[in-house]
Structure 1
Amino acid sequence: MKIFEPLEAGVIEGISKTLGETNKGLSGTEIEKFLAEARIADCDPIITKWKRLYNAFVNYQNKNKNSNNILTFINKSMSPARFVGKNEQFEDIRFELNKYLSFSGLKLKENGKFTSTDSTSTISEAEQKANRFKSKLQQRNTHEKIYEYCKAELLAENYFHSVFEAVKSIAETIRQKTGLNHDGSELIELAFSIKNPLITINKLSNETEESEHKGFANLIKGVFGMFRNTAAHAPKITWEINETDALDIMSTVSLIHRKLE
């Protein structure tokens, strides 16, 4: 059996606080169960949950000079079978755990198992390795253009600028396909003209297909008007985008790019 090096005290504290978090973490009963299954002594069962875990983990590690059973505890408590129907909760916890595990060269995968990774030494490196926003985009099979145009913003989980850059990618793709140098509504009207279209999403052979074509052009105009133009003129502090909104906007941009192909 592979022997894993002891975890740093800060890493153990971060893991304990994540797993013992009041709303999304383990219950007291679950902590008792998984400590027993991982063969870790429950040395302070009546104190705060995260401190209970921290003391149990530190006590085990001091005696055994390895982190094996601590990792076993994480494996058992993060078994995907426990989170059926609660995928967002699973990903939120996994994201937080991976921030701390990355300092020890470990990563918890979607299957609840560990894999080796390059260890990190700074907070920003840990944040980038555990990037939750990008992971959620990948789960949605988001179009590759999204990552091409807003890589830095995604790594920083900057939702405001990620949306801005992603929406700008639509106009740039249309210009590349048509050779036009216009922008905004004028670009869309020229590119998707019914009489002389430079881009079509169907054969425009009947009224239904013409309506679909016009609807797609109006969708792009709406995305520009609501997300690109607003983001360009409104300061971030007054036009806040949360993660859910950003994911939905990115999915719309992804749909547009698939249609453009």
Structure 2
Amino acid sequence: MTEFMGRSYHSEVIKHCKKLFLQAHYFHAVFEACKVYNKQVQAKAHSQKDGQALMLEVWGADNGVLKVTPCQTDTDKNTQNGIKFLSAGLMQAIRNPTAHEPALDWPVNKQDCLDLLGFLSYLFRQLDSAVYFKA
């Protein structure tokens, strides 16, 4: 339990993944966190898109509706687009395989689960601080 709780995960990760992690359902803990992140991005962005397409559309520095920076300087734009690509990569590399591959064929070990939930916690915190902006 201390391995999980000692990480200061985002409250959504704790809510949706703690029980699964403690039962050693690492694959499903990661999948749940990905689904919740996707759903919350949809809600905050007022979008019906899903997965990678959603993330590429809503987080962009130029046309995205979710902003974590003012997108004025190159650094602002790089940071904003970084969140876009991290989120899109999460959907393509982590959520999609867990959605389409059986757990036995696509195992997630304990260490990868802990690390991925930390990564998802970071993205959830970015989403928490994001402001909806429609030009």
Deviation per residue, 1:151-194 (Å, 9 max, x gap): 54234220010011111111111112111111012211221233
Structure 1 counterpart of 2:102, one-letter code: P
- Answering whether residue 45 of structure 2 is matched by residue 169 of structure 1, we say no
The runs of 5 or more residues in structure 2 that have no matched partner are 129-135
SS of the residue aligned with 1:140? coil
- Answering whether residue 78 of structure 2 is matched by residue 211 of structure 1, we say yes
8 Å contact 2:61–2:77 — kept in the other structure? yes
Greater CA radius of gyration, 1 or 2? 1
RMSD: 1.5
- Answering whether residue 120 of structure 2 is matched by residue 253 of structure 1, we say yes
Structure 2 counterpart of 1:257, one-letter code: F
- Displacement, 1:150? 3.1
- Answering whether residue 55 of structure 2 is matched by residue 188 of structure 1, we say yes
Tell me which residue corresponds to 2:25.
Answer: 158
- Displacement, 1:137? 2.2
Higher relative contact order (CA 8 A, sep 6+): 2
Structure 1 counterpart of 2:72, one-letter code: S
Equivalent residues in 2 for 1:9-28 (5 A)?
A: none
Structure 2: distance between partners of 1:176 and 1:138: 27
Deviation per residue, 1:74-126 (Å, 9 max, x gap): xxxxxxxxxxxxxxxxxxxxxxxxxxxxxxxxxxxxxxxxxxxxxxxxxxxxx
- Answering whether residue 64 of structure 2 is matched by residue 197 of structure 1, we say yes
| Identical amino acids, percent of aligned pairs | 27
Tell me which residue corresponds to 2:97.
Answer: 230
Match of 1:221 among 73, 77, 88: 88
Tell me which residue corresponds to 1:145.
Answer: 12
Structure 1 counterpart of 2:39, one-letter code: E
The TM-score normalised by the length of structure 1 is 0.47
- Displacement, 1:217? 0.6
Deviation per residue, 1:194-226 (Å, 9 max, x gap): 333211111111112101111111011111111
The TM-score normalised by the length of structure 2 is 0.87
